[in-house]
Amino acid sequence: MALKLWNVFKFFGPAVMPIVVLVDVSLEIVQGESVAIVGASGCGKTTLLNIAGGLLQPDTGKVLWDEQLVGKLKRGSFLGFIFQSCALVNELTVLENVLLPLRILGLKLDKARAKELLAVVRLEHRMHAMPSTLSGGERQRAAIVRALISSPQFVIADEPTGNLDERTSLEVEELMFGLCREMKVGLIFATHDQRIAQRASRTFSLTAGRLHEVKKPLEPTTFFA
């Protein structure tokens, strides 16, 4: 199944002097594929991701998941969100945070599954801890588990490693790509980091509201004598 953005335009501000954020953006992402969006701060990456996830309406154009309008779907059932500031609820434990999407969706609180995923990100021993007692990297790992708990087919991540140091961001990156590969989910993420962007199946830069595919340097060729 695929997420499709069709001719999406988005403006902010008054009609007489609009801030033009997205101009005729079209993009299709299939399950198991990862797409990176790079671009200067303020270029519209968050706006694009929020529209892709149905958190924000485009001014014109549409967003479809499996040929259905995303705005009309029960979001969390197919989609997981990872935010830059990870947005864990401070008053809830790590485990309660991870189970929150299931609670909101009215699904069974599958604690065994939560513990299994927390073990994958090496946080099982911290499941009863409050988020304020975790490091930034640990919080982001918990946020990844929370995004994956409802077994989404698609994950949207807005600068998921933006607030992390080099080593922790490598760790979070491995996890994100690894879990997505194993669970065959589609992934779209925004980043400032060219190195992470290179790891995606496809990379796009967002400039003056338009999306351009960034061609990757060719893989080194192996010659056989």
Which amino acid belongs to residue 42? G
Nearer to Mg ion, 115 or 192 (CB): 192
Query: Under rule CB under 6 A, how many of the chain's residues touch ligand ADP?
Result: 12
Cβ contact 120:179 at 8 Å = yes
Contact between 12 and ligand ADP per CB under 6 A = yes
Distance of closest approach, residue 37 Cβ to Mg ion, in angstroms: 10
Nearer to ligand ADP, 49 or 185 (CB): 49
- Binding at 19: pick from Mg ion, ligand ADP, none (beta carbon under 5-8 Å per type): ligand ADP
Would you say the C-alpha torsion 134, 137, 141, 143 has a positive or negative sign? positive
| Spatial distance between the Cα atoms of 137 and 158, rounded to a whole number of angstroms | 15
Going residue by residue from 26 to 45, which x/- string records binding to Mg ion, judged by CB under 5 A?
Answer: -------------------x
CA distances from 136 to 2, 88, 145 (A): 32, 11, 14
To 5 degrees, how large is the angle CA 6–CA 8–CA 11?
A: 175
Which amino acid belongs to residue 155? V
The interface with ligand ADP within residues 17-76 (CB under 6 A) comprises 19, 21, 39, 41-47
Q: Which residue is nearest to Mg ion (CB)?
A: 46
Contact between 146 and ligand ADP per CB under 6 A = no
Nearer to ligand ADP, 135 or 207 (CB): 207
Alpha helices in 11-135 (DSSP H): 45-52, 75-78, 94-105, 111-120
The interface with Mg ion within residues 110-169 (CB under 5 A) comprises none
Relative to beta strand 2-12, strand 210-214 is: unpaired
Cβ contact 79:63 at 8 Å = no
Contact between 46 and Mg ion per CB under 5 A = yes
Nearer to ligand ADP, 136 or 162 (CB): 162
Nearer to ligand ADP, 159 or 171 (CB): 159
| Spatial distance between the Cα atoms of 36 and 199, rounded to a whole number of angstroms | 8
Distance of closest approach, residue 166 Cβ to ligand ADP, in angstroms: 21
**Which parts of 46-167 are beta strand (E)?**
60-65, 68-69, 79-82, 154-158
Distance of closest approach, residue 108 Cβ to ligand ADP, in angstroms: 35
| Interaction site with Mg ion (CB under 5 A) | 45-46
| Interaction site with ligand ADP (CB under 6 A) | 12-13, 19, 21, 39, 41-47
